[in-house]
Amino acid sequence: MFPGVPNHSFIVRFRPTGPWRFGPDTGARDRVDFVYHSDAAFSAVTAAMTRLGKLEEWLDAAAHAQDGPAVRFSSFFPFLGDHLFVPPPRHLWPPVDSAKVRYKGARFVPISLVETLVSGNEINEDRWSVDGESECLMPAEKNLHSGPFRMTLRSNVCVDRLTAGNVEVHSTACLEYSRGAGLWTLVIFASDEARAAWEEPVRSAFRLLADSGFGGERSRGWGRSEMPEWEACAPAPEALPAPEATERGYWLLSLYAPADSDSIDWRRGNYATITRTGRIESPARWGEPKAASLMIAEGSVLLSAREPRGAARDLAPADFPHPVLRAGFAVAFPVPWRTPA
Protein backbone atom coordinates (compact mmCIF):
# COMPACT_ATOMS: atom_id res chain seq x y z
CA MET A 1 0.00 0.00 0.00
CA PHE A 2 2.74 2.47 0.98
CA PRO A 3 6.12 2.15 -0.76
CA GLY A 4 8.94 1.47 1.66
CA VAL A 5 6.84 1.70 4.84
CA PRO A 6 8.45 -0.05 7.84
CA ASN A 7 6.84 -3.27 9.04
CA HIS A 8 6.16 -1.71 12.45
CA SER A 9 3.57 0.75 11.09
CA PHE A 10 -0.17 1.02 11.56
CA ILE A 11 -3.17 2.68 9.99
CA VAL A 12 -5.48 4.11 12.65
CA ARG A 13 -9.09 4.94 11.79
CA PHE A 14 -11.37 7.32 13.69
CA ARG A 15 -15.12 7.16 13.16
CA PRO A 16 -16.60 10.51 14.31
CA THR A 17 -19.64 10.51 16.57
CA GLY A 18 -20.42 14.16 15.79
CA PRO A 19 -18.97 17.24 14.07
CA TRP A 20 -15.23 17.88 13.85
CA ARG A 21 -13.59 21.27 13.34
CA PHE A 22 -10.11 22.08 12.08
CA GLY A 23 -9.80 25.83 12.21
CA PRO A 24 -8.11 27.54 9.27
CA ASP A 25 -5.05 29.65 9.98
CA THR A 26 -7.04 32.75 9.07
CA GLY A 27 -9.09 32.14 12.21
CA ALA A 28 -12.37 32.60 10.33
CA ARG A 29 -15.20 30.84 12.15
CA ASP A 30 -17.19 30.28 8.97
CA ARG A 31 -14.34 28.34 7.34
CA VAL A 32 -12.84 24.96 8.14
CA ASP A 33 -9.81 23.00 6.98
CA PHE A 34 -10.36 19.53 5.54
CA VAL A 35 -7.16 18.08 7.07
CA TYR A 36 -6.11 17.59 10.67
CA HIS A 37 -2.44 18.37 10.21
CA SER A 38 0.35 16.25 11.64
CA ASP A 39 1.73 19.02 13.85
CA ALA A 40 -1.68 19.31 15.55
CA ALA A 41 -1.85 15.52 15.92
CA PHE A 42 1.58 15.52 17.62
CA SER A 43 0.47 18.31 19.97
CA ALA A 44 -2.75 16.45 20.83
CA VAL A 45 -0.87 13.23 21.59
CA THR A 46 1.64 15.19 23.69
CA ALA A 47 -1.21 16.70 25.73
CA ALA A 48 -2.65 13.21 26.19
CA MET A 49 0.75 11.91 27.32
CA THR A 50 0.76 14.65 29.97
CA ARG A 51 -2.52 13.32 31.34
CA LEU A 52 -1.16 9.76 31.20
CA GLY A 53 1.90 10.75 33.24
CA LYS A 54 4.39 10.11 30.43
CA LEU A 55 5.23 13.62 29.21
CA GLU A 56 8.99 13.68 29.88
CA GLU A 57 9.55 10.17 28.53
CA TRP A 58 7.47 11.01 25.45
CA LEU A 59 9.35 14.19 24.66
CA ASP A 60 12.70 12.45 25.09
CA ALA A 61 11.67 9.71 22.66
CA ALA A 62 9.51 11.60 20.17
CA ALA A 63 10.99 15.09 20.03
CA HIS A 64 14.51 15.19 21.45
CA ALA A 65 16.04 11.87 20.34
CA GLN A 66 19.32 12.39 18.49
CA ASP A 67 18.63 9.58 16.01
CA GLY A 68 15.12 10.77 15.15
CA PRO A 69 11.66 10.40 16.69
CA ALA A 70 10.52 7.03 18.00
CA VAL A 71 7.02 7.68 16.60
CA ARG A 72 5.80 9.72 13.63
CA PHE A 73 2.27 10.57 12.56
CA SER A 74 0.93 11.46 9.16
CA SER A 75 -1.77 14.08 8.94
CA PHE A 76 -5.38 12.89 9.33
CA PHE A 77 -7.11 12.36 5.95
CA PRO A 78 -10.63 11.17 5.10
CA PHE A 79 -11.69 7.63 4.42
CA LEU A 80 -14.95 6.12 3.18
CA GLY A 81 -15.51 2.40 3.45
CA ASP A 82 -12.34 0.68 2.29
CA HIS A 83 -11.07 3.75 0.44
CA LEU A 84 -8.29 5.77 2.09
CA PHE A 85 -7.94 9.23 0.56
CA VAL A 86 -4.63 11.10 0.31
CA PRO A 87 -3.32 14.30 -1.30
CA PRO A 88 -1.81 13.02 -4.57
CA PRO A 89 1.85 13.63 -5.47
CA ARG A 90 1.96 17.22 -6.70
CA HIS A 91 4.21 16.51 -9.68
CA LEU A 92 1.62 14.13 -11.11
CA TRP A 93 -1.62 15.96 -10.31
CA PRO A 94 -3.84 16.99 -11.88
CA PRO A 95 -3.76 14.99 -15.10
CA VAL A 96 -5.09 16.62 -18.24
CA ASP A 97 -8.77 17.31 -17.73
CA SER A 98 -11.07 15.03 -19.64
CA ALA A 99 -14.50 15.76 -21.05
CA LYS A 100 -16.02 13.88 -18.11
CA VAL A 101 -13.88 14.60 -15.03
CA ARG A 102 -12.56 17.92 -13.74
CA TYR A 103 -9.53 16.44 -12.02
CA LYS A 104 -8.16 19.74 -10.70
CA GLY A 105 -11.22 20.00 -8.45
CA ALA A 106 -10.00 16.99 -6.44
CA ARG A 107 -7.80 17.65 -3.42
CA PHE A 108 -7.82 13.99 -2.32
CA VAL A 109 -7.64 10.74 -4.30
CA PRO A 110 -7.91 7.09 -3.21
CA ILE A 111 -4.48 5.74 -2.39
CA SER A 112 -5.12 2.92 -4.84
CA LEU A 113 -4.94 5.49 -7.64
CA VAL A 114 -1.44 6.68 -6.68
CA GLU A 115 0.19 3.57 -8.13
CA THR A 116 -1.59 4.26 -11.43
CA LEU A 117 -0.30 7.83 -11.40
CA VAL A 118 3.34 7.04 -10.68
CA SER A 119 3.38 4.17 -13.14
CA GLY A 120 2.40 6.58 -15.88
CA ASN A 121 -0.71 4.58 -16.76
CA GLU A 122 -3.77 6.32 -18.12
CA ILE A 123 -6.67 6.95 -15.73
CA ASN A 124 -9.98 5.46 -16.84
CA GLU A 125 -12.23 8.52 -16.68
CA ASP A 126 -15.37 6.35 -16.61
CA ARG A 127 -14.39 5.05 -13.18
CA TRP A 128 -14.12 8.39 -11.37
CA SER A 129 -16.02 11.53 -10.45
CA VAL A 130 -15.20 14.52 -8.23
CA ASP A 131 -17.32 15.15 -5.15
CA GLY A 132 -17.45 18.94 -4.96
CA GLU A 133 -18.23 19.18 -1.25
CA SER A 134 -15.33 17.07 0.03
CA GLU A 135 -13.01 17.62 -2.98
CA CYS A 136 -12.45 13.85 -3.14
CA LEU A 137 -12.05 11.88 -6.36
CA MET A 138 -14.70 9.21 -5.91
CA PRO A 139 -14.73 5.72 -7.42
CA ALA A 140 -17.79 4.97 -9.52
CA GLU A 141 -19.31 2.36 -7.21
CA LYS A 142 -23.02 1.74 -6.66
CA ASN A 143 -22.77 1.94 -2.88
CA LEU A 144 -20.95 5.32 -2.88
CA HIS A 145 -23.53 8.04 -3.28
CA SER A 146 -21.64 10.95 -1.71
CA GLY A 147 -18.22 11.94 -0.42
CA PRO A 148 -16.86 11.09 3.04
CA PHE A 149 -17.85 14.44 4.57
CA ARG A 150 -19.48 17.78 3.99
CA MET A 151 -18.95 21.21 5.49
CA THR A 152 -21.84 22.72 7.43
CA LEU A 153 -22.44 25.78 9.61
CA ARG A 154 -23.73 25.39 13.16
CA SER A 155 -25.36 28.44 14.75
CA ASN A 156 -24.47 29.54 18.27
CA VAL A 157 -25.81 32.19 20.63
CA CYS A 158 -23.69 34.10 23.13
CA VAL A 159 -25.66 35.54 26.05
CA ASP A 160 -24.24 38.45 28.05
CA ARG A 161 -25.15 37.61 31.66
CA LEU A 162 -24.26 41.12 32.82
CA THR A 163 -26.45 42.98 30.35
CA ALA A 164 -29.93 41.52 30.23
CA GLY A 165 -31.18 40.73 26.74
CA ASN A 166 -27.85 41.29 25.00
CA VAL A 167 -27.25 38.27 22.75
CA GLU A 168 -24.95 37.65 19.81
CA VAL A 169 -25.62 35.02 17.16
CA HIS A 170 -22.70 33.57 15.20
CA SER A 171 -22.03 30.51 13.07
CA THR A 172 -19.15 28.04 13.22
CA ALA A 173 -18.10 25.80 10.34
CA CYS A 174 -17.56 22.10 10.94
CA LEU A 175 -17.23 18.80 9.09
CA GLU A 176 -19.95 16.16 9.27
CA TYR A 177 -18.98 12.66 8.18
CA SER A 178 -21.02 10.17 6.18
CA ARG A 179 -21.99 6.74 7.45
CA GLY A 180 -18.97 4.46 7.13
CA ALA A 181 -16.60 7.42 6.82
CA GLY A 182 -14.09 9.12 9.07
CA LEU A 183 -10.43 10.04 9.33
CA TRP A 184 -7.28 7.95 9.25
CA THR A 185 -3.64 8.48 10.10
CA LEU A 186 -0.46 6.48 9.65
CA VAL A 187 1.57 5.76 12.78
CA ILE A 188 5.20 4.79 12.10
CA PHE A 189 7.46 3.43 14.83
CA ALA A 190 11.18 3.88 14.23
CA SER A 191 12.06 0.30 15.17
CA ASP A 192 10.77 -2.84 16.84
CA GLU A 193 12.15 -1.49 20.12
CA ALA A 194 10.27 1.79 19.67
CA ARG A 195 7.08 -0.10 18.91
CA ALA A 196 7.49 -2.28 22.02
CA ALA A 197 8.00 0.82 24.18
CA TRP A 198 5.41 3.16 22.66
CA GLU A 199 2.63 1.23 20.92
CA GLU A 200 0.48 0.85 24.02
CA PRO A 201 1.01 4.46 25.25
CA VAL A 202 0.11 5.79 21.77
CA ARG A 203 -2.97 3.58 21.68
CA SER A 204 -3.95 4.89 25.12
CA ALA A 205 -3.40 8.48 24.01
CA PHE A 206 -5.60 7.98 20.93
CA ARG A 207 -8.32 6.34 23.04
CA LEU A 208 -8.22 9.29 25.43
CA LEU A 209 -8.39 11.77 22.54
CA ALA A 210 -11.23 9.86 20.87
CA ASP A 211 -13.20 10.34 24.08
CA SER A 212 -12.20 13.96 24.80
CA GLY A 213 -11.95 15.25 21.22
CA PHE A 214 -9.57 16.45 18.53
CA GLY A 215 -9.50 19.95 17.04
CA GLY A 216 -11.75 22.90 17.85
CA GLU A 217 -14.95 23.29 19.87
CA ARG A 218 -14.17 20.30 22.07
CA SER A 219 -16.12 21.89 24.93
CA ARG A 220 -19.24 21.39 22.78
CA GLY A 221 -18.49 17.72 22.27
CA TRP A 222 -16.99 18.13 18.81
CA GLY A 223 -14.01 16.11 17.60
CA ARG A 224 -14.98 12.87 19.33
CA SER A 225 -15.05 9.43 17.78
CA GLU A 226 -15.66 5.79 18.44
CA MET A 227 -12.69 3.87 19.77
CA PRO A 228 -9.79 4.00 17.28
CA GLU A 229 -9.30 1.01 14.98
CA TRP A 230 -5.71 -0.22 14.42
CA GLU A 231 -4.72 -2.02 11.25
CA ALA A 232 -1.23 -3.34 10.52
CA CYS A 233 0.15 -1.69 7.39
CA ALA A 234 1.46 -4.08 4.75
CA PRO A 235 4.44 -2.54 2.95
CA ALA A 236 4.42 -2.05 -0.80
CA PRO A 237 7.57 -2.37 -2.93
CA GLU A 238 10.50 -0.12 -2.05
CA ALA A 239 9.43 2.38 -4.68
CA LEU A 240 6.47 2.46 -7.02
CA PRO A 241 7.57 1.77 -10.61
CA ALA A 242 7.58 4.16 -13.52
CA PRO A 243 9.54 3.18 -16.63
CA GLU A 244 10.59 6.70 -17.55
CA ALA A 245 11.67 7.75 -14.06
CA THR A 246 15.30 8.76 -13.64
CA GLU A 247 15.29 10.03 -10.05
CA ARG A 248 13.53 9.35 -6.80
CA GLY A 249 11.42 11.92 -5.02
CA TYR A 250 9.79 11.81 -1.60
CA TRP A 251 6.02 12.27 -1.37
CA LEU A 252 4.89 13.83 1.92
CA LEU A 253 1.86 12.72 3.92
CA SER A 254 2.71 15.05 6.80
CA LEU A 255 3.73 18.63 7.27
CA TYR A 256 7.48 19.02 7.13
CA ALA A 257 10.04 21.35 8.70
CA PRO A 258 13.60 20.65 7.48
CA ALA A 259 16.17 19.33 9.94
CA ASP A 260 19.69 20.73 9.81
CA SER A 261 20.91 17.37 8.50
CA ASP A 262 18.38 17.25 5.63
CA SER A 263 19.67 18.16 2.19
CA ILE A 264 16.71 19.06 -0.01
CA ASP A 265 17.16 20.33 -3.54
CA TRP A 266 14.88 23.35 -3.17
CA ARG A 267 15.48 24.44 -6.77
CA ARG A 268 13.53 21.46 -8.03
CA GLY A 269 10.82 19.15 -6.82
CA ASN A 270 7.19 20.17 -6.64
CA TYR A 271 6.12 21.50 -3.28
CA ALA A 272 3.80 23.97 -1.60
CA THR A 273 4.12 25.81 1.69
CA ILE A 274 1.60 26.41 4.43
CA THR A 275 1.75 28.90 7.29
CA ARG A 276 0.80 27.38 10.62
CA THR A 277 -0.32 29.48 13.57
CA GLY A 278 -2.58 28.54 16.50
CA ARG A 279 -2.60 29.07 20.23
CA ILE A 280 -0.69 27.54 23.11
CA GLU A 281 -2.66 25.09 25.25
CA SER A 282 -0.68 24.97 28.47
CA PRO A 283 -1.68 25.38 32.13
CA ALA A 284 1.28 27.76 32.41
CA ARG A 285 -0.33 30.38 30.14
CA TRP A 286 -3.35 29.25 28.16
CA GLY A 287 -4.31 30.75 24.83
CA GLU A 288 -1.24 32.77 23.90
CA PRO A 289 -0.67 32.86 20.13
CA LYS A 290 2.02 30.63 18.66
CA ALA A 291 4.60 32.15 16.38
CA ALA A 292 3.77 31.55 12.71
CA SER A 293 5.71 28.73 11.07
CA LEU A 294 6.23 28.16 7.36
CA MET A 295 6.07 24.43 6.61
CA ILE A 296 6.01 22.18 3.55
CA ALA A 297 2.49 20.93 2.84
CA GLU A 298 1.19 17.40 2.44
CA GLY A 299 1.29 16.08 -1.12
CA SER A 300 4.57 17.86 -1.87
CA VAL A 301 7.30 15.91 -3.62
CA LEU A 302 10.87 16.71 -2.52
CA LEU A 303 14.12 15.74 -4.16
CA SER A 304 16.77 14.57 -1.74
CA ALA A 305 19.66 12.11 -1.66
CA ARG A 306 17.98 10.36 1.29
CA GLU A 307 14.63 10.30 3.03
CA PRO A 308 13.84 13.65 4.71
CA ARG A 309 13.82 13.51 8.48
CA GLY A 310 12.34 16.81 9.66
CA ALA A 311 12.51 18.49 13.04
CA ALA A 312 10.47 19.88 15.91
CA ARG A 313 10.83 23.63 16.41
CA ASP A 314 10.54 25.38 19.76
CA LEU A 315 8.09 28.28 19.40
CA ALA A 316 7.95 29.30 23.06
CA PRO A 317 8.07 33.05 23.77
CA ALA A 318 11.25 34.24 25.44
CA ASP A 319 9.81 34.20 28.96
CA PHE A 320 7.68 31.05 28.62
CA PRO A 321 8.33 28.44 31.36
CA HIS A 322 8.69 25.44 29.02
CA PRO A 323 9.25 24.61 25.33
CA VAL A 324 6.34 24.86 22.90
CA LEU A 325 7.04 22.45 20.05
CA ARG A 326 5.73 22.37 16.52
CA ALA A 327 6.50 18.96 15.01
CA GLY A 328 7.62 18.86 11.41
CA PHE A 329 8.80 15.25 11.22
CA ALA A 330 8.50 13.84 7.72
CA VAL A 331 6.24 10.95 6.84
CA ALA A 332 7.51 10.54 3.28
CA PHE A 333 7.45 7.78 0.70
CA PRO A 334 9.72 7.22 -2.31
CA VAL A 335 8.08 7.80 -5.68
CA PRO A 336 9.69 8.09 -9.09
CA TRP A 337 10.41 11.64 -10.16
CA ARG A 338 9.59 12.71 -13.66
CA THR A 339 10.47 16.21 -14.78
CA PRO A 340 7.25 18.06 -15.61
CA ALA A 341 6.74 18.51 -19.36
Convert the pLDDT of each residue in 210-255 to its tens digit.
Answer: 999 999 999 889 999 999 999 987 655 555 554 455 688 999 999 9
- Cβ atoms of 189 and 61 closer than 8 Å: no
Q: Is 50 exceeded by the pLDDT of residue 85?
A: yes
Per-residue pLDDT, averaged over 58-74, amounts to 92
Helix (H) or strand (E) run with residue 195 in it = helix 192-212
- Cβ atoms of 153 and 172 closer than 8 Å: yes
Please indicate, yes or no, whether the overall pTM of this predicted structure exceeds 0.85: yes
Distance CA 94, CA 207 (A): 37
* Mutual angle of helices 38-51 and 192-212, in 10-degree steps: 90
Distance CA 21, CA 5 (A): 30
DSSP 218: G
DSSP β-bridge partners for residue 247: 337
Pairing of strands 2-3, 235-236: parallel
Distance CA 114, CA 104 (A): 15
Per-residue pLDDT, averaged over 167-177, amounts to 84
Q: Is 90 exceeded by the pLDDT of residue 141?
A: no
Distance CA 151, CA 253 (A): 23
- Cβ atoms of 291 and 315 closer than 8 Å: yes
Query: Confidence class of residue 161 from pLDDT cuts 50, 70 and 90?
Result: low
Cα–Cα nearest to 297, from 23, 35, 29 = 35
The pLDDT value recorded for residue 238 is 52
The pLDDT value recorded for residue 243 is 47
Q: Range with the lowest mean pLDDT among 41-55, 106-120, 158-172, 300-314?
A: 158-172
